[in-house]
Chain A
């Protein structure tokens, strides 16, 4: 009898170890894979390898690799490797945290989300120590302030983002609509166009696609709905929980009616690239997405080339249009073996010329103000000029107010909204619960 128990303990131990090891290993794997553009030769002794962990949404990865190549051409002693990281923000965060927990020098430069500087600052160097003061004045002050923690510049702004409404100019003309200014108008137009296109034989046509999967992107989308209906920003900048109000309830309930009507059932499983796939195939009238989708939509293989435009997102009945502030920064790891060179790489990648290249080729919004007046940039992405106000007035997620608990706050929020979208509960109940959850997480007072 005893031996049996011991044997089962042993088996469970071995299995558990497999589980623990399974959780730990993915961090190391991607680092081993060489990307195509890398030089094949092994680094010799006086060569320094700088690894940049970068995103791969749309054209991001190619653009970063091009910049890395340019840096290598100018600096023969340095090899810049680009590490491809997961698309979903919190998967990327998970990967980074494993590097930080191990204090690994594997990655020197990290591409970090606009919501992370507060949470992760202890792992990054102060870029003011490496010559950032010379360039910092060129960038949007609001983003620089976001990246500054207790006087330390933990990350240099790289590109900024704000939610935009993509609409099909040809279809709006066909059905005689102007770009929608309220969510209700959008829903009506989407319904009409969807019905019309389906009657004409395109069975897969949908009215409106957006990001409804249970992840950070849903927080961005839902924050836009709520903020555009004067429903606050979940937690106010001075630390009050404001989410449970009538305007927020109204908007989330409205969004739930879109699922299965103007948006496909599957929208509650969609991230940026899923929405773009439907849009770029010509199967949607409207899309909510970030600016990166613009230049991809204008490429030759796109079904919507020259047939779409962008506008600010619609407003709710009680408010003004709102766009969530997104965007990415470059930060240098404290555990890097060559912080000077790593900082130089980061500043080079965020420089005027590189941001210009990324704006022209990838429609990634520069963080350098002057670039919004640059002719080449405006020719490639005309909306940078016309929607300048959208980018400068974008609504920040409550990451500063709730640091270091932002991720928990955001997860509670998008799971609550996701539950309403899936029809498991109604917005009033969900937000009442959420308000108490947020109080548990942050300890803040309820407004």
Chain B
């Protein structure tokens, strides 16, 4: 810990610093804290979007509607005459009660999300808003997978363009093109490439190589939707990741590598003993940026999937614009905020990012 006694000069400097920071703080208050406060407040009401209807304060109801989950046990069906458990003749499996009969309906109705087996019993997981739970799941899968792939590919690209070769300036610039394209535009482009018949590039290629009949519905069938989203995002943001890592690589002095080479360390050893540890801070910053960004993904999902599969942000948009449920949409916004906040803290703690030199 630092000492509490400070010199007069230091105190004066500190005061000047606060005065200089004041305008920035005021702007932050106006453009970030105020609207966010408004969102927090609205999330406790039943406000309607673009409507003159009166707004009422409803406490935590919006949150309850979004997040309530329950687990109920499903009993095996029993034949009334023989008192024996009913077994499906074809699959030889026990038939259970239907979740729709088991899940509670008051005060809010629970819908089936998943069924699972545990210690020989069958359970159903019910949620009041299955779509939102799905949206959270989609967003998390999307975030973890795409950021991981971007990190691996970005690191590879950064290492390549960091070496000395002819035309490296051009390569570095060209590599940024996907990142510079507006997301909605690149999403449309991908929409054409992913078209469900042979007018789409991927179906055409798959057909040309005789792998499929050229009619895979990448954007409409559930098993391809998320992978397609991840592919679009990886294509688009890998250059950004590479750029951040490249900046980190360039701060590593060449002398270290020279010394290591003299001591007999090969390229692999050099990478793990010099590059990797010295790159960690840059990597941490890049990871935080990308993760927090990926968690609020909106444009790719909205353009490519619309109402058929949601991310947290597109579900928010749907509740606000489609259903005009401004209160509920605000609650979703707050939940997204909390999830992102959680991620930020985990990252900053676990990666040991030095944000403040004196601490």
Residues of A within 8 A of B (CB): 1, 3-5, 7-20, 22-23, 88, 90, 93-94, 97-98, 100-101, 122-123, 203-204, 212-215, 264-269, 278, 404, 407-408, 411, 414-415, 418, 422, 424, 432-433, 436-437, 440
Contact = CB atoms under 8 A, between A and B. Distances in A.
Contacts of B36: 13, 16-17, 20
B122 interface: no
Given A203-B214, A215-B306, A266-B195, A19 B359 contact: no
Given A100-B50, A269-B308, 5 more contacts: A12-B341, A265-B221, A415-B308, A433-B100, A437-B111
Contacts of B340: 12, 15-16
Contacts of B306: 88, 213-215
Given A12-B344, A122-B52, A264-B196, A215 B323 contact: no
Contacts of B307: 90, 214-215, 411, 414-415
Given A8-B345, A12-B344, A411 B323 contact: yes
B16 interface: no
Interface stretch (B5-13, B27-35, B82-90, B137-145): B27-35
A22 B336 CA distance: 15
A19 B33 contact: no
Contacts of A19: 296, 298, 313, 336
- Of the four ranges (under 10, 10 to 19, 20 to 34, 35 or more), the interface on chain B belongs to 35 or more
A4 B321 contact: no
Nearest to A122: B52
Main secondary structure, interface of A, reads: helix
26 contacts: A3-B356, A8-B341, A8-B348, A10-B28, A11-B292, A12-B292, A12-B340, A13-B36, A15-B296, A16-B333, A18-B296, A19-B313, A19-B336, A23-B320, A90-B321, A123-B50, A214-B307, A215-B306, A266-B195, A268-B308, A404-B51, A408-B322, A414-B307, A432-B100, A433-B100, A436-B109
Contacts of B321: 90, 93-94, 97-98
Interface of B: 28, 31-33, 35-36, 39, 49-52, 100, 105, 109, 111, 195-198, 213-217, 219-222, 288, 292-293, 296, 298-299, 306-308, 313, 316-318, 320-324, 333, 336-337, 340-341, 344-345, 348-349, 353, 355-356, 359
Nearest to B111: A433
Given A269-B220, A433-B111, A14 B341 contact: no
A253 B183 CA distance: 37
B31 A17 contact: yes
Contact of A20 (B28, B35, B50, B219): B35
Contacts of B50: 97-98, 100-101, 123
Contacts of A269: 196, 217, 219-220, 308
B213 to A, nearest CB: 8
A1 B348 CA distance: 10
Contacts of A433: 100, 111
B225 to A, nearest CB: 10
Contacts of A266: 195-197, 215, 217, 219-220
Nearest to A95: B321
A93 B344 CA distance: 35
